Structure formats: structure tokens, C-alpha cells
Amino acid sequence: MLEGLKGFIDLFADPQLFFATTVVALVLIVWKREAFSSTRWGWGLMIFLTVFFAFGLTDSDFNLIITKPDNVPIVGLIFLLVFFTWFSMRQAVDNDRRAAGGQPPIEKDEEDRVWTWPDLVYTELISMVVCTVVLIVWSIGLEAPIEQPANNANTPNPSKAPWYFLGLQEMLVYFDPGLAGVVLPSLIIVGLMAIPYIDKNPKGNGYYTFNERRVEITIFLFGFVVLWSSLIVLGTFLRGPNWNFFGPFEYWDIHKLEALTNVDLSEYVWVRGFGMALPDHWFVREIFGILLTIGYVAVLPVLLARKGLTKYYEKLGPTRYYVTVILFLSMLSLPVKMLTRWAFNLKYVVAIPEFFFNI
């Protein structure tokens, strides 16, 4: 019975189902936010997580992963992230209800001023004391990890980046290092910095709301919670030796084999489609992938401006519209690449090893 449950969870944690689950969860959170933001759901989620991790501690394999000192903060992150997602939605829903009843947001009612001394400085003082106590207790209770002395000749398996970069390391499964390690992270930074300039919606400034900023909040939650955070969780807890997938209750067997032959698009088209050898010149060989990529980043935004996103094109103007859509499509390139990998074992759309250019 217990083993069956663990087996079921292992099965369910597989990257495809894991990712699908987080996407479905986000859709439900946004769609059923009225129900989601109830006190019952808040408690329910916290209790569920607590029970899940408490149950996990009883399993020797799971225990090994979550009690690894550097992984403890990520367990904390999971609780905090779930809580604050729930909490921010709750306040947004509260304010939206007020708005529906013709009332201003709750923050408007709290607009009158209070004295910084004592109201703010005491809050700050208490926060500092609480933080210090938490940090000291945490530091006494959990030793910082120190492993064997550095040895360039002995590569641990798996070799993992620091936990906050594991989302990026997970992207390496789907993208070339140039994209996963350099281009896409740079685009994340640029995209974050662009947010205030491409978001022209004047509403929802300085208070929680969902109805007045549906698209912005949904995209942000998708990027932050689903892509960034859940991939960190996946990379930390569910990736073992050789970056193979392991369920939380699974033994990290170094000999686990995952027979996977990933195929480039060029091979799909020329070898399997036309039944001929790959052309010698890289440009001819990759022409379909190149066209597809240009279509995705250059033609698709134009088409969407005419049909589908015309409303946004008119509202934002050409510059803001193109910046927004291209950034958004870059973000979506990860799930798109994931899906094509899972569905067709597609390795690269464009593969030009001649000069390290792979997409």
C-alpha cells in the first residue's frame, strides 16, 4: 500500500507530468481563484505540504535528498512560494470583490498616515529580532556542508550548479549551452527590466488586484512559479546521476539507463522525410530549421499583430508590441522545446555544429 503510493508519486513526478501538473495548477489557480483564495485552501495546501514532506522524511531515499543541507532552503522556498502565491491571490480576490461592490481597494482605505515612530520602527525592530533568532536557531541546528577537499580529477555525479541556477541547468536538457546558459538568462534580465516600460496598463498600481491585470499577472506567475521555480524544484529533487530523472522515492542508481535517441529536425526532414542523405552544406541542410526559427521570432509576431493580438498591437503601439511579443515568445520557446522533445524526440531545430550554433 505504502510502496504503491510511493511508486505512484514517483510516476507522477516524471518531468512531463510534473511540468503538466504545474501548468494545470496555474490554470486552476487563475481560473478558480475565488475558491483557491479561501482560508480552507490556504490551510489545506500548507497541511498537504507538511504531511508530504513529513511522509517523505520516513523514506530513506527521499530523506537523503531533502535533508541535504543545501536543499533545506529549497524546502523552505516551496512552502513560502505556495503560501505567498495563495496569499497574494487572496488579497487580489478580496480587492476585486470590493471593486465589484463599488468600493476602493483596501489599501485606499488605509491611506491615512501613521507615525514612522513608533508604528514602522517597532515593526522593523521586531522583524530584525525574529530574523536573527530564526537564523541563529537554523545555524545551530544545521551545519553548513563541507565535503571532501576540491579535486579536479574527481567529478561528482551528478554535478549540480548552486540551487538557484538549477532552472537554467534544467534548460540544458532542451537547449544548447549558448542559449540555456547565456542568451536566455540575459533575456530574462532584459525582460524583467522591460516590464515597467511595456506594461502600459495604468490600473493596479499600488494595490493587489487580479481582474484589472489578468494578463500581466498570469504571464508573471507562469514565468516565475511554473518556469523558474518549479524547474528549480525539479532540478534539485528529481535529477540524479547523469541528470537522469529520479522520482522522490527512487534510489539514485548511477547505472540507470534512459535510452533516448534525440533527432535533429534536419534528419527528420532529409533522411526520414525525403529519404536521402543529409546535404553537405550546413545552410542547405538546416534551411528548414532556419526558416522555422525566423518564422517563430520574426514572422509570427507580425501575423499575430494582424490577427489574434490586434487589440494589443493597437493598445501598445508597434515598438512596445514587438518587444513584448518577442520576449514572450522567447519565454515560450522553453515549453515549446520541451513539448517537441517529449512528443517527437526532437533534439535541435537548427543544428550547426560547424560553428556551435544549435537551437
Partner 1 sequence: MADTKTIEPKAPALVRAWDWITETQIWTSIFRHAAPINDRNRVLVMLSNVFLHMHPVRLRKSGVRLRYTWCMGGISFFLFLVLTFTGLLLMFYYRPTLEYAYSDIVGLREHVPLGIMREMHRWGAHAMVITVWLHMFRVFMTGSYKPPREFNWNIGVIMLVLTLLLSFTGYLLPWDQLAIWAITVGSNMARATPFLGHEGPGASLMALGDVQLVHAADDARFALLGGTFVGEGALLRFYVLHCVALPLVIGFLMAIHFWRVRKDGGISGPL
* Interacting span for partner 1 (CB under 8 A) from 40-48, 104-112, 246-254, 291-299: 104-112
Tell me how far apart the alpha carbons of residues 342 and 18 are, in angstroms, rounded to a whole number.
Answer: 13
Tell me how far apart the alpha carbons of residues 199 and 171 are, in angstroms, rounded to a whole number.
Answer: 27
The minimum distance between CB 134 and partner 1, in angstroms, equals 8
Structure-derived torsion over alpha carbons of residues 173, 175, 179, 180, reported in degrees to the nearest 10: -20
* Interacting span for partner 1 (CB under 8 A) from 36-44, 113-121, 288-296, 327-335: 113-121
Interface residue with partner 1, options 5, 121, 133, 303 (CB under 8 A): 121
Nearer to partner 1, 138 or 251 (CB): 138
Tell me how far apart the alpha carbons of residues 237 and 56 are, in angstroms, rounded to a whole number.
Answer: 12
207 binds partner 1 (CB under 8 A): yes
Nearer to partner 1, 50 or 127 (CB): 127
197 binds partner 1 (CB under 8 A): yes
Nearer to partner 1, 54 or 140 (CB): 140
Write out the binding residues for partner 1, residues 59-78 only, by CB under 8 A: 70, 73, 76-77
Tell me how far apart the alpha carbons of residues 313 and 131 are, in angstroms, rounded to a whole number.
Answer: 47
44 binds partner 1 (CB under 8 A): no
Cβ proximity of 234 and 338 under 8 Å? no
Nearest CA among 173, 165, 164 for reference residue 337: 173
Cβ proximity of 305 and 313 under 8 Å? yes
Strand partners, 239: 245
Tell me how far apart the alpha carbons of residues 274 and 287 are, in angstroms, rounded to a whole number.
Answer: 14
Q: Is 71 left (phi over 0), alpha (psi -120 to 50) or beta?
A: alpha
Cis peptide before 118 (omega within 30 of 0): yes
84 binds partner 1 (CB under 8 A): yes
Q: What is the DSSP letter of 295?
A: I
The minimum distance between CB 87 and partner 1, in angstroms, equals 8
Q: Mask 329-358, x = binds partner 1 (CB under 8 A)?
A: -------------------------xxxxx
* Interacting span for partner 1 (CB under 8 A) from 13-21, 23-31, 140-148, 287-295: 140-148
The minimum distance between CB 282 and partner 1, in angstroms, equals 12
The minimum distance between CB 57 and partner 1, in angstroms, equals 20
The minimum distance between CB 205 and partner 1, in angstroms, equals 4
Return the C-alpha cell found at 324: 513584448
Identify the helix (H) or strand (E) that includes residue 170: helix 166-171
* Interacting span for partner 1 (CB under 8 A) from 136-144, 247-255, 275-283, 297-305: 136-144
Write out the binding residues for partner 1, residues 248-307 only, by CB under 8 A: none
The radius of gyration of the chain from alpha carbons, rounded to an integer in Å, stands at 24
Contacts of 63 (CB under 8 A, 6+ apart): 56, 57
Amino acid (one-letter) located at 7: G
Tell me how far apart the alpha carbons of residues 81 and 217 are, in angstroms, rounded to a whole number.
Answer: 15
Amino acid (one-letter) located at 135: L
The minimum distance between CB 334 and partner 1, in angstroms, equals 16
308 binds partner 1 (CB under 8 A): no
Residues that contact partner 1, how many (by CB under 8 A): 94
25 binds partner 1 (CB under 8 A): no
131 binds partner 1 (CB under 8 A): yes
199 binds partner 1 (CB under 8 A): yes
320 binds partner 1 (CB under 8 A): no
Identify the helix (H) or strand (E) that includes residue 118: none
Write out the binding residues for partner 1, residues 156-195 only, by CB under 8 A: 156, 159-165, 168-169, 176-178, 180-183, 189, 192-193, 195
16 binds partner 1 (CB under 8 A): no
